Amino acid sequence: MNTPTVLFLAKYPDSQSIKEGMSQRIHAVDKHFSSFSRAYLSVSFLKNWKRKVENRGTNITQYECNFFFHFFFLLSFWRKSKLIYYHSIYNVPATLCFLFFNSRYTKVVWDVHGAVPEEQKMSGFNIKSTVYNFVERCIFRSADLIIVVTDALKVHLLEKHKRTKADFFLYPILSNQLKFRNSNNVCSKKTEKLTVIYSGNTQVWQNVNLMLKVIKQHFSNEINYYLLTGEPESMKLALKEAELANEANIFVLSVDPSELEHYYRKAHYGFVLRDDMVVNNVACPTKLVEYMHYGIIPIVKSERIGDFKKFGYEYISYKDFSMQLPIQKSSVNQKIIDRLIKQNEKVDLSILINFL
């Protein structure tokens, strides 16, 4: 076996998964290691009875393995790889024991995208929450470098677990949909109709019912609402239950990611109704980043989302939403994301980790 220099615990993105935030993150990180031989490894306790190996590009090999059937094969990876890079805590449990077999020359990196144990508990999965708390504590103490998407996430982890040998590095998640960087391009003409957008699905934590309540309370033919979702039927059902199904200026659309720019450019305000809880306080939501990049002013339930309040982003509370809102974009929000993009572009993770 020709052992790669870099071992990523994740599935390499394909043409379908690249639309997802996680896959976009994996692809962005992979670019930093394009000159190195690297493997992507997916391990399961219950699946992958037959080992699957697939070439996914220059210097990239995807492996799908079973923990029990391919134990010694996996162990050889751990002993020979110079860098082990965990994308998210979700990829840790099936390989947790291998952390005890690391060579002293092997570096371990954990890329943390959010507060997973708290997210599981919020969703009612208490056993999973307990398991991920244990796994999180183990990887927190084992990692040499912890990459976080917000400073708020770093503070949360340090307050929760205290002890770690790891250095921390901030590397926000930025969407592939960020197309331009000139704040003049986001300005709207004063003659446009007020346009409000929602981009997302109908999960409970998205507070879709609250959004529809706000729309209904302040409904006007002078406002266009674009509800962009991968679950159009569920959204239409929610509109029907809110007695808004037949309104001509509420548009429910399922669009390709490449089409989002068209709607983001015309929108002035966008719903991001997250509750005030740890999961949201430490996050870097792709939707919010996209909104702000296009000068959209978020309509929030809690303004405490990631580091954006610290950055001074412009937002309004859903309680202050009204038909009298000015038709405007936010150059402040656009410049915040512009700054994050520039910071990310200066990063070279292969040098930062310095594993050779």
| 44-101 confidence digits (pLDDT tens) | 998 989 999 988 878 899 999 999 999 998 888 888 888 899 998 999 999 998 888 7
pLDDT tens, 271-309? Answer: 999 999 999 999 988 899 999 999 999 999 999 999 999
Q: CB neighbours (10 Å) of residue 79? A: 14
Which pLDDT belongs to residue 356?
42
| Cα–Cα nearest to 322, from 185, 212, 220 | 220
Residue with tokens 């917000």: 150
| Predicted confidence (pLDDT) at residue 3 exceeds the cutoff of 70 | no
| Gap between the Cα atoms of 110 and 147, Å rounded | 6
- Could you tell me which residue, 208 or 184, shows the higher pLDDT? 208
pLDDT tens, 299-341? Answer: 999 999 999 999 999 999 999 998 888 999 999 999 999 999 9
Q: In angstroms, how far is the first alpha carbon of the chain from the final one?
A: 20
| Gap between the Cα atoms of 317 and 309, Å rounded | 13
Average pLDDT, the chain: 87
| Predicted confidence (pLDDT) at residue 270 exceeds the cutoff of 50 | yes
| Gap between the Cα atoms of 343 and 169, Å rounded | 12
**pLDDT band at residue 31 using 50, 70 and 90 as cut-offs:** confident
Mean of pLDDT values over 5-24 = 80
Mean of pLDDT values over 9-16 = 83
**pLDDT band at residue 204 using 50, 70 and 90 as cut-offs:** confident
| Cα–Cα nearest to 294, from 326, 336, 257 | 336
| Gap between the Cα atoms of 91 and 81, Å rounded | 17
- Could you tell me which residue, 181 or 59, shows the higher pLDDT? 59
| Gap between the Cα atoms of 11 and 26, Å rounded | 8
| CA 64 to each of CA 73, 92, 139, 239: distance values in angstroms, whole numbers, following the listed order | 12, 15, 22, 42
CA angle 351, 284, 214 (to 5 degrees): 165
| Gap between the Cα atoms of 215 and 211, Å rounded | 6
What the block records as the tokens of 166 is: 């790891």
Q: Report the percentage of the chain scoring pLDDT > 70.
A: 92
Mean of pLDDT values over 109-135 = 92
Q: What is the dihedral of CA 186, 189, 193, 197, to 10 degrees?
A: 0
| Predicted confidence (pLDDT) at residue 244 exceeds the cutoff of 80 | yes
Q: CB neighbours (10 Å) of residue 105? A: 10
Q: CB neighbours (10 Å) of residue 160? A: 15
**pLDDT band at residue 105 using 50, 70 and 90 as cut-offs:** confident
Q: What does the DSSP 8-state code read for residue 37?
A: -
Q: Kindly report which listed range (175-184, 235-244, 260-269, 271-280) carries the lowest average pLDDT score.
A: 175-184
Which pLDDT belongs to residue 56?
84
Task: Give the helix ranges, DSSP H, for the chain.
Answer: 21-30, 71-80, 116-122, 126-142, 151-161, 208-217, 232-241, 260-266, 278-281, 286-293, 308-311, 331-345, 349-353
CA angle 153, 269, 197 (to 5 degrees): 95
| Predicted confidence (pLDDT) at residue 189 exceeds the cutoff of 50 | no
pLDDT tens, 126-180? Answer: 999 999 999 999 999 889 999 999 999 999 999 999 888 899 999 988 876 676 5
Which SS3 state, helix, strand or coil, does residue 289 take? helix
| Gap between the Cα atoms of 252 and 235, Å rounded | 7
| Cα–Cα nearest to 223, from 297, 325, 291, 295 | 325
What the block records as the tokens of 333 is: 């929000």
Residue 234, sorted as left (phi over 0), alpha (psi -120 to 50) or beta, turns out to be: alpha
